[in-house]
Amino acid sequence: MPTRPGNAPRPGGAATGRPTGLVLTGGGARAAYQVGALGAVLEILDPRARPGFPNPFPIICGTSAGAVNATALACRAHRPHLALRRIRRLWESLETGMVYRADAPGLIRTGVRWLGLLSLGWMMSGQARRRTQSLLDNAPLADLLTRVLDFPQLQANLSRGSLSALAITASGYTSGEHLTFYQAGRPIEPWHRFLRRAVPADIGIDHLMASSAIPFVFPARAVTVHGQVEWCGDGSMRQLAPISPAIHLGAHRVLVIGTGYRDETHPEDRAAAPPYPSLAQVAGHALSSIFLDSLSGDVERLESTNALLQHTPPDGDGMRPIDVLTLTPSRSLDLMALEHLDAMPAEARTLFRVLGVSSDPGRPGGGALMSYLLFEAAYTRRLIELGYADTMRRIDEVTRFFEEARA
């Protein structure tokens, strides 16, 4: 990546007008990886965990479960170490029932009926009012977020300068646009690109629930956009440029923490005559396409633009080189999820087995789907540990990224 001259005495670069943005991508339960990676970054920057250590990320952007992490960090941006400890404590104590209904009555009302509609919907066309809206009911997540997030403190952090901006993305089912809801400490003109729109807003629970509404899995959420109701789903859909919101909000360098293993879509061990894919395999592949594919393409485009700017004289149009550091898992989270499948409640495990999920060594399957939906501490703790270890192995890169830039 190209570098720029000048000094950056503060970790976030705010003192030189070159703030650092943090981008947390989507991935359901995979987002626990981000907590470990962020913990390592803070430890590298401030090993003593000083209470007055400034927030190194003036601009924070998140999508789907990454939006939850982003908002939790933004709400306590005035004390980033404390924020990470609380976020980590939550992920390490997580249970499936805290995110979606995993008991028998809840699964019957959603998952069982939803599967029934898939197979017998043609016989039930007159019962539209009784149709279930999704495979799972994530109402418990809304209750959890209401308890743990301090939105008044978010506004206080923006007002006092501990944070410059928070952005949360969602996908509008009604308009077909990819929406970026942002809340900033200073007026920022909304931007608009083809099928992409920025919307200033007081970010709240509805925005987070919309951003994390995985299609078909969780129900859409109604959000008000310019005075009109917009039904929204997961922000990873149609997210062609996940780094873009951070740049629009003023970031000059961006740390991206993804949740996709680089070789996840090209496994080396492949059966000579694999069986027909199960519904779980198809669903997992679809989710991976939604959550994982756009980040690498956006980074490649940004690298090409940076290379072009190195050989182009400034023309005053506002384009600038953007330093980017991307942190992603060093091993497959699909396989890790299958290793911890037994931690899931029996009722939910039964539902997913009907879909084709299996941890049988002789015929494993559905790991991709479960890597997004296995909200159990046994799994999320492993992801946190992996995120921390992966980042600490790249301590030199992290240090260079945050240290003073030199000519």
Give the torsion sign (CA, 395, 1, 253, 328): negative
- pLDDT score for 18: 77
Q: What is the DSSP letter of 102?
A: -
Number of other CB atoms surrounding residue 314 within 10 Å: 9
Mean pLDDT value of segment 288-308: 68
Is the pLDDT reported for residue 405 higher than 50?
A: no
Residue 129 CB burial class (10 angstroms; 0-12, 13-18, ≥19) = exposed
Is the pLDDT reported for residue 4 higher than 50?
A: no
Higher pLDDT, 239 or 345: 345
Is the pLDDT reported for residue 91 higher than 90?
A: yes
- The rounded distance, in Å, linking the Cα atoms of 327 and 335 is 19
Report pTM: 0.87
Residues 6+ apart with CB under 8 A from 58: 12, 13, 14, 19, 20, 21, 163, 164, 165
Mean pLDDT value of segment 275-279: 80
Q: Are strands 20-24 and 253-257 parallel, antiparallel or unpaired?
A: parallel
Is the pLDDT reported for residue 277 higher than 80?
A: yes
Is the pLDDT reported for residue 268 higher than 70?
A: no
- The rounded distance, in Å, linking the Cα atoms of 197 and 300 is 22
- pLDDT score for 343: 94
Instruction: Share the mean pLDDT of the chain.
Output: 84
Give DSSP secondary structure letters for 38-63: HHHHHHHH-TT--TTPPPS-SEEEEE
pLDDT tens by residue, 106-121: 776 665 555 555 554 5
Q: Which of 3-7, 234-238, 332-336, 402-406 has the lowest mean pLDDT?
A: 3-7
Give the torsion sign (CA, 207, 83, 27, 106): negative
Closest CA to 175 of 233, 135, 130, 259: 233
- pLDDT score for 232: 95
Q: Pick the most confident of 148-162, 298-312, 354-368.
A: 148-162
Q: What is the DSSP letter of 94?
A: -
- pLDDT score for 122: 43
- pLDDT score for 273: 67
Distances (CA, A) of 78 to 57, 88, 175, 181: 11, 17, 36, 22
Residue 387's pLDDT band (cuts 50, 70, 90) = very high
pLDDT tens by residue, 20-77: 999 999 889 999 999 999 999 999 999 988 888 999 999 999 999 999 999 999 999 9
Number of other CB atoms surrounding residue 268 within 10 Å: 5
- pLDDT score for 358: 85
Higher pLDDT, 125 or 213: 213
Higher pLDDT, 356 or 57: 57
Mean pLDDT value of segment 377-388: 97
Q: What is the DSSP letter of 265?
A: T
Residue 10's pLDDT band (cuts 50, 70, 90) = very low
Question: Crossing angle of helices 377-392/80-92, nearest 10°?
Answer: 140
Q: Give Rg (Cα) of the chain.
A: 21
